[in-house]
Amino acid sequence: MRILVDRKTLSEAVNLAARVTAKKRDVSILENVHFEVKNNEVTLTATDAETTLRTSIALHVMKGDGQFCVSAKELKAMLAGASGETVALEATEDGCFTLEYSNGAFLCPAAGADEFPETKQEEMTERVQLPGLLIRDALKRSLWSVSDDELRIALMGVCFTLRRPGILDIVTTNAHVLVLSRIRLSYSTGSEFRFIIPKKAAMLLQRVLSDEPVDLSWNDQSCRVKVGPYTFDIRNIDARFPDYDKVIPNAIPLQALVPRDTVLRSLKRLLPFSDDKYGRVNLSFSNGTLKMSADDFENMRGARQTIAIAHESDDAKICVSGPRLAGILSKLSGQDAVFGMTDAPGTPVIVWPWSQAADCEATMLMTSMRGNKHDE
């Protein structure tokens, strides 16, 4: 069997497939990309047993049909240095795979297709079309706050919640920071769902999402996302996501408008002088100023910064984790951000952009901390 295929299209597909394939697993066949050649096209499939990627590419030349598997790592290395508009792939019955291009060729073993797990597409019960660009931006804001705590599996992914009449929430949390992106769809939907997809799958989607619409379908166990030429079948995380609506206060009496970039730069200057374990930073809002301080008493270090802000509510003092706040501010857009607080002790700090798009609102929430010392 020998085929001639567009080099650039194949290379893009293989690079994405290599991110899907399993790493360091007992089932070594999952490190391979499965090829199926028929009807003048080649279909590539990669899976790690939780996420499956499929894509089909039209062929320039096809001599024979069949199936074979090739190491994703080796295939990616072969294509990295290839040149020309097309490459030729050949798989023989004795388990040899050859890739040829204009001025070179590579040879490696091909695994039998019968070793690759069967990846039948499940029947989906519901379907909706979503705005790809808004989802991509929401994932960019959210993925950094996904938990890596294997004892809290529900927090190890991204929660998608669709509610009537047409609101999509994309939420992540690690129990210290919560990131909510609320997308208002341009149409009403009769469907409702909530499921959690693994972080790895969400990172893959972020890479391919664009301004093209996204087809999303789902059932009780999995979801299917179609983005351009790629189809992802994703096994949902079987766990209950926390009720995030309950932790976001309905009323936020204390609010301050701050210059986001200025606060972020000041925060980065303060962090080397904060305690190493928690990175505590004290924030004091009063009379149109934000006083920021960090102290490491054990090592006799400390730092202070004062920033002019627009502050219209009562004075407020709070202690937060500097690294977490820096993560929040770095993911927000716009020149200004709003800090929202309540006057009850131990309540979270809410941060959101001063200027938000009509079709998507971003809200970030972080827990407060017990401070060492506040500026007076």
pLDDT tens-digit readout, 88-121: 999 998 999 999 998 899 999 999 889 898 887 8
Secondary structure of residue 34 in the 3-state scheme? strand
Q: What pLDDT was estimated at residue 46?
A: 96
Q: Give the pLDDT confidence of 338-359 residue by residue, as tens digits.
A: 999 887 777 789 999 999 988 9
The radius of gyration of the chain's CA atoms, rounded to the nearest angstrom, is 25
Q: What pLDDT was estimated at residue 371?
A: 65
Count H helices and E strands in the chain, helices first.
Answer: 6, 25
Q: Give the pLDDT confidence of 47-76 residue by residue, as tens digits.
A: 999 999 999 999 999 999 999 999 999 999
Topology agreement, domain 2-115 and domain 126-246: yes
Q: Name which CATH class applies to 248-366.
A: alpha beta
Q: What pLDDT was estimated at residue 316?
A: 87
Q: What pLDDT was estimated at residue 251?
A: 83
Residues 327-334: contacts with CB under 8 Å, at least 24 apart: 327/144, 327/145, 327/177, 328/177, 328/179, 328/364, 328/366, 329/260, 329/263, 329/264, 329/267, 330/264, 331/140, 331/141, 331/144, 331/179, 331/364, 332/141, 332/260, 332/362, 332/364, 333/362, 334/260
Q: What pLDDT was estimated at residue 25?
A: 61
Residue listed under structure tokens 């609102």: 361
Q: Which residues of the chain have pLDDT under 50?
A: 373-376
pTM tops 0.85, yes or no:
yes
Cα→Cα distances 173→18, 35, 146, 192, 257, Å: 28, 38, 5, 21, 24
Q: Does domain 126-246 have CATH number 3.10.150.10?
A: yes
Architecture of domain 2-115: Roll (3.10)
Q: What pLDDT was estimated at residue 112?
A: 87
Q: 98, 139 in Cβ contact below 8 A?
A: no
Sketch the domain layout of the chain as residue ranges: 2-115, 126-246, 248-366
